[in-house]
Chains A and B, each alone.
Chain A
């Protein structure tokens, strides 16, 4: 199915059309800000040319979405399965509370990228950003992989402030020579070893396939890996009151 929403079409009309078509391949031409595309959907491949609105692929349950353009806020909010490729930049809170599936952003992503990502056993979400992100990357992260590549040398160190605030699970990989200066105490950061990089190799591979990048070149650079400090510091904040 091909659909051309332009500026006029309401998101409800567009999304109803996507949901109800028996076609598994959906092509959206000249998308102009329609929200919630693919919300809760499974079993389709959606190609979007233009600019989808907020909450693209929210609660996504197993589609493949390609965006040729920029996505807005809350891309892949609470997504469970499937893959989103953005051939451009993404707005704030990309991958909010992702619990499965993968998101690949070719360019940059905004503030609070990967906030509340979680994982359990075989369900491990992956979020790869080709450029850099805004502050509060991986806030409250409880699981999954967040990988920031800074392929355009915009400096993770200078731009990604307060990475992993409140993080208590999962891993963040930053391709950088130097860590941002203001990492919270709850985080352990170390230079990624060969073993560490092995873990993310398939995701880098997939990123490079999607966006035509040189895999080995990326893997040969300096990465830091961030994990939560397991001496869980929250508990010490509280004292039992008997009242």
Chain B
């Protein structure tokens, strides 16, 4: 296809095998869905570097530790402008004429603002709290907060609270559809969320009948394609999320390659096997906040006002104004996904160039909603990307009610961030539908690792809060005095609403 027998692309990675250690057990060969490893006629193990995506499956399973993957030192003539990546991508397109398709979050070197925010701690004038000895509250309720106290004729308080999501800790697993990830990955997330008293999110692919039992800890998503959406599905979860956009690909829709539309996936989504699942960017019935309100209320009517409705948007330039509209649409929760959010497949150029950092988006949304006096209309959940307990604490101090974690959850289940989910051959059993790969992820272990991760983060959150002398997540929320910036300019500090370190 336009290459005329010439191979323009030199492998990015080299598989290095210590032949002294290798016992030719062929584990690597069996484990690699990319078919990198093979045995030659003389019984010696070889590797085809061009197929390697650097997922470390073989390295992790080699019984003798004979393998490592290194970045090739093969080089183009060094050029600060025409980097090897840009040249290689251009070759790919000149050869195929196709739109570049990538996966996972934006890997570029743009600033990570979390790393330029520093947290406060108590010294002398107010005591810190020891979370091991004293109670620390991390329970979080998401939903509209009533504006006023209503009393009946006898003066008793009338409960005018709208439905809420209760979380033991302000962390949820973000939307990853059954289809983009495997049955076992969904099972791991669902079980972990239930054990942790938090929520996972079905994504836009519907809900497998086996997972209805985890309903109280499930957020069901409704996207433009409405895959798997019906009354029982809406009723199944503890909340309904309308997906308007996602951080990895704002402005464009979901795209599940036909290779992943097999068996159950085809049934749950109700689309033919092998055909790509297209969830176009726009909801074709939403062109305004009024139209969004219509979808919000149709969902509330269908669920008899028993479920909070979340509206998920990508962090884009006018995110504060959009969030203000969403907060007036009747939605109970706004989820904002930053430009580093992960995905199973996104056009490279969109993933790497569209959207804004979640830190700035969150700060401006929180400020805007406060200025307009509508902050309590909604809870704010942020994701894309939250990498650690420190990021969670910083997000909450900037104004978030809770965080969504997606990539971090995948990592806990064994993902090695090889960024080749779009191929459907995930060697770790996560972003695949091939039965022989799916079974590599044991849901007992997957869910345990997720539980461990979130428990560990929760301990860290408590420890950090204790250090600040704060014993409840409520007191941390929007408490930007707990943050200071380093390496930021005046404008960045202004948007983040924080002082410089030392101020």
Contact = CB atoms under 8 A, between A and B. Distances in A.
B100 A61 contact: no
Given A77-B285, A142-B271, A242-B12, A58 B301 contact: yes
B278 A143 contact: no
Interface stretch (A91-99, A177-185, A217-225): A91-99
A240 interface: yes
A58 to B, nearest CB: 4
A12 B96 CA distance: 54
B320 to A, nearest CB: 28
B89 A80 contact: no
Given A143-B270, A241-B89, A61 B230 contact: yes
Interface stretch (B125-133, B418-426, B490-498): B418-426
Contact of B276 (A35, A232, A240, A241): A232
Contacts of A58: 298, 301-302
B278 A234 contact: yes
B304 interface: yes
A80 B278 contact: no
Given A166-B280, A232-B275, A73 B285 contact: yes
A238 B99 contact: yes
Given A78-B229, A234-B276, A36 B301 contact: yes
A140 B272 contact: no
Interface in A9-45: 11-12, 15, 19, 35-36, 39-40, 42
Contact of A139 (B93, B232, B284, B301): B284
Interface string A61-104: 10000000000011001101000000000001100110100000
Size category of the binding interface on chain B = 35 or more
B234 interface: yes
B267 interface: yes
B89 A118 contact: no
A35 B294 contact: yes
Given A73-B285, A120-B267, A168 B89 contact: no
A97 B226 CA distance: 6
Contact of B96 (A77, A121, A239): A239
B7 interface: no
A169 interface: yes
Contacts of A99: 226, 229-230, 270
Size category of the binding interface on chain A = 35 or more
B298 A19 contact: no
Contacts of A126: none
Interface string B310-322: 0000000000000
Interface string B342-354: 0000011000000
A54 B286 CA distance: 12
B384 to A, nearest CB: 18
A93 to B, nearest CB: 5
A118 B227 CA distance: 9
A143 B423 CA distance: 26
Contact of A239 (B101, B224, B284): B101
A24 B99 CA distance: 54
B353 to A, nearest CB: 13
B12 A55 contact: no
A80 B231 contact: yes
A128 interface: no
Nearest to A97: B226
B297 interface: yes
A169 B275 contact: yes
A55 B98 contact: no
A142 B278 CA distance: 10
Contact of A168 (B92, B229, B257, B275): B275
Nearest to A117: B270
Given A237-B98, A240-B422, A93 B271 contact: no
A123 B275 contact: no
Given A93-B284, A241-B102, A40 B226 contact: no
B225 interface: yes
A16 to B, nearest CB: 8
B85 interface: yes
B285 A116 contact: no
Nearest to B283: A96
Q: Which of B258, B274, B284 has the most CB of A within 10 A?
A: B284
Nearest to A56: B298
A42 B303 CA distance: 13
A184 to B, nearest CB: 13
Nearest to B100: A241
B278 to A, nearest CB: 6
Interface in B95-152: 95-102, 107
Contacts of A143: 270-272
A240 B101 contact: yes
Interface string B266-292: 110111101110101000110000000
A53 B285 CA distance: 14
Contacts of B257: 235
Nearest to B420: A242
A236 interface: yes
Given A77-B285, A238-B101, A243-B348, A120 B422 contact: no
A238 B347 CA distance: 8
Nearest to A16: B304
B66 interface: no
Instruction: Give 9 closest A-B pairs by Cβ, nearest first.
Output: A239-B98, A40-B302, A97-B226, A39-B301, A118-B270, A239-B96, A241-B100, A36-B301, A61-B231
Interface of B: 12, 53, 85, 89, 92-93, 95-102, 107, 224-227, 229-232, 234, 257-258, 266-267, 269-272, 274-276, 278, 280, 284-285, 294, 297-298, 301-304, 347-348, 419-420, 422-423
24 contacts: A11-B297, A36-B297, A40-B303, A54-B294, A59-B231, A59-B234, A59-B298, A61-B230, A74-B298, A80-B231, A112-B284, A115-B284, A116-B225, A116-B226, A118-B269, A143-B271, A232-B274, A237-B98, A238-B98, A240-B101, A241-B100, A241-B101, A241-B102, A243-B102
